[in-house]
Amino acid sequence: MGASLALALAAVIGLLWGVAGRADVVRPPPRSCPEGSAGVSSHAGPYCAPQTCTPQVACSKGRVCETRKLCVTPKTIGGRRGPAVKVQQVLGSCEDGKKCAGGTCMSLRVCVPKAK
């Protein structure tokens, strides 16, 4: 009886250890994001972040800084081990009069591929 109780206790500890380990896993960033944004991942989950730019902050090679209309909503990240921070999450494009299914349509200066 004592050995089976010890075995059952070890199994429960093993299961709980596995659950705790998976809770801290950071999922990969989204593979596909609207133009002008890029996939980012954190403990708050994956999201598409705007790739903002200014005349002083240049875009990477092959990209240019242009104004685009994007559907944006706030996303809170952090808070477990430090202060919570609100970031912008891009949900889609609202160019050419398109309506946002979620979020607010905002004009942002973002890095986009250079026209060929």
Q: Please list the helix, strand and coil fractions of the chain in percent, rounded to the nearest 5, in that order.
A: 20, 35, 40
The encoded tokens of residue 8 equal 């059952």
Query: In whole angstroms, what is the distance from residue 7 CA to residue 54 CA?
Result: 62
Tens digit of pLDDT for each residue in 82-96? 788 899 999 999 999
- Cα angle 74, 89, 102; round to 5: 75
CB 114 within 8 A of CB 58: no
Q: What is the per-residue pLDDT for 2?
A: 54
Q: Among candidates 105, 97, 80, 107, which has minimal Cα distance to 24?
A: 80
Q: What is the pLDDT of residue 84?
A: 86
Reported as a pLDDT band with limits 50, 70 and 90, residue 24 is: low
What is the mean pLDDT of the segment spanning 100-112? 96
Average pLDDT rounded to a whole number, residues 85-114: 95
Whole-model pTM: value is 0.72
- Write the pLDDT tens digit of every residue in 28-64: 888 899 999 999 987 778 999 999 998 788 899 999 9
Q: What is the mean pLDDT of the chain?
A: 82
- List phi, psi (to 5°) of 106: -130, 145
Single-letter amino acid, residue 41: S
User: Which pLDDT score is estimated for 100?
Assistant: 96
DSSP conformational letter for 7:
H
